[in-house]
Each structure stands twice: as C-alpha cells, then as structure tokens.
Structure 1
Amino acid sequence: MAARFPFLCTCGNVVPAGERCACQIARARARKARHDARRPNARARGYNRRWEAARRDYLDAFPFCRRCGNPATIVDHITPHRGDDRLFWDRSNWQPLCAPCHNRHKQREEHQQ
C-alpha cells in the first residue's frame, strides 16, 4: 500500500493527506452560496402540492431504491428536467431512490455530464 503524503495548498498551508485546507472549504462554501442565490426555490421549480401527491403515489407503488434495494424516499428524474414540464411529469422518467444513492451516486453522475 502506497503511503499518502501531506500536500502544500495554494495558500501555502501544509495539509495532511485526505483532508482539505480551510481556504478550500471556504471557497467551496462561497461557490455553493453563489449558486444557491441564483437558483429558484423548490416551489418555483415545480415541486409543489401536486408534485408531493404524485411523489407519494409513486413511492407507494415503488417503495424500494432502484440501485440498492433499501426503502426509497426520493423520486428522482432519470433525465434532469431543467424546467421542462413535459419531462418533469413524465413518469417513465422517474425512479425511486434512497437518499444516500440519490445524494452520492446520482449527483456524481449528473455532474460528470
């Protein structure tokens, strides 16, 4: 097994292997805050009472995560709808996921596209 060594951050701090420098954490937090400030809220993106009812019905019909088989808590859009109402309400574009699969695996896949 190869040893992992500390690295030198661009700010000049020595950072232990596997950790992030405080300046990197602060930059990521600021970037995420800028993104959130420009993003419409959930209701404006279509996640309203109608969606909550459809989501509940879908999870009743498909209660297990498509990836790992654990209980599903999220109805995910397979192809991101990006505001397209037709794609948003297309049930063939939905899949049941548990929160860990949605937040880890699915988001990573979307960011690689």
Structure 2
Amino acid sequence: MPTSPPTRCGDPECQELTTQGRCEAHQRKAWANRSKEWGSGSTRKWRETRARQLDREPTCRWCGSHDALQVDHIIPLSEGGSKWDSANLQTLCSGCHEVKSDQDRRQRTHPEGSRLTF
C-alpha cells in the first residue's frame, strides 16, 4: 500500500517532515483512555480530594482571589504528575488556572521556552 509523501509537522514551529501529521516529538497524548485510567469510583474520590484541597487552601495561590476556585495539578498528569498526592495540588482561580495551563502547553511544545511564575 503506498504511503503519502512526507509533509511538515502540524506544529507551527516545527520543520520536521512526517507522514503522520505531527512528528514524533509533537504527537498529541492519547486521552481516549482517560476515563478508564481514572476508574469508575474515582469521581467521588476526586470530589473528596478537591474538597480537602479547597479546605487547606481556600484562596488562589497565585493572586489570592476567593472567586471561581479550581484545583490544579502542579505537575500535569500528562507529564507524570500524581493524581491524588496533595503535594501535587494547588488552588487557583479560573483566570490563573488558564494562564498556568497555557504555560504547561507551551512548555510541552516548546521545552526551551521560559515559564512564568507568580
């Protein structure tokens, strides 16, 4: 069966040629199995873990806000961070969480880039 000719990686900054859409370094993580990985009983476990984290840290760690709080994994799960370890959790408001998630994505796609910290 013939293969298609190589094209540039789908990552806008990458010059590598590939026949898969993205080069090996920029392949997206397969999240299809996430629900299996977390397991059926883990929704309750996450709610309990989240509640404990919000009790421990009731304001955004970065800006001190009390509004729209979310529990964030400091080291993302996609990078091997622990799902349940309280040392890997922090409370962020939705705005700071979005900034941090963007930083994490940039770090994955451009490892030489710098990370902003607050």
TM-score bracket relative to the smaller structure = 0.5 to 0.7
**Which protein is richer in helix relative to its size?**
1
The equivalences for 1:1-113 within 5 A come to 39-40=31-32, 43-44=35-36, 46=38, 48-71=43-66, 73-82=69-78, 87-103=82-98, 105-113=99-107
Following superposition, the deviation at residue 108 of structure 1 comes to 1.6
Following superposition, the deviation at residue 45 of structure 1 comes to 5.3
Cα RMSD of the aligned pairs, angstroms, is 2.5
Q: Secondary structure at the match of 2:83?
A: helix
Q: Secondary structure at the match of 2:71?
A: strand
Work out the CA distance in 2 between the residues paired with 1:107 and 1:42: 18
Larger radius of gyration: 1
Work out the CA distance in 2 between the residues paired with 1:65 and 1:50: 22
Equivalent pairs counted in the alignment come to: 75
Work out the CA distance in 1 between the residues paired with 2:69 and 2:34: 17
Which AA in structure 2 matches 1:55?
Answer: R
Contact 2:49–2:84 (Cα < 8 Å) also in 1: no
Contact 1:45–1:83 (Cα < 8 Å) also in 2: no
Please report the TM-score for the alignment, with normalisation by the length of structure 1.
0.55
Contact 2:73–2:90 (Cα < 8 Å) also in 1: yes
Runs of 4+ in 1 over 2 A off after TM superposition: 38-47
Q: Unaligned stretches of 5+ in structure 1?
A: 1-34
Match in the other structure for 1:13? none
Please report the TM-score for the alignment, with normalisation by the length of structure 2.
0.53
Change (3 A) 1:87 1:49: same
Work out the CA distance in 2 between the residues paired with 1:43 and 1:106: 23
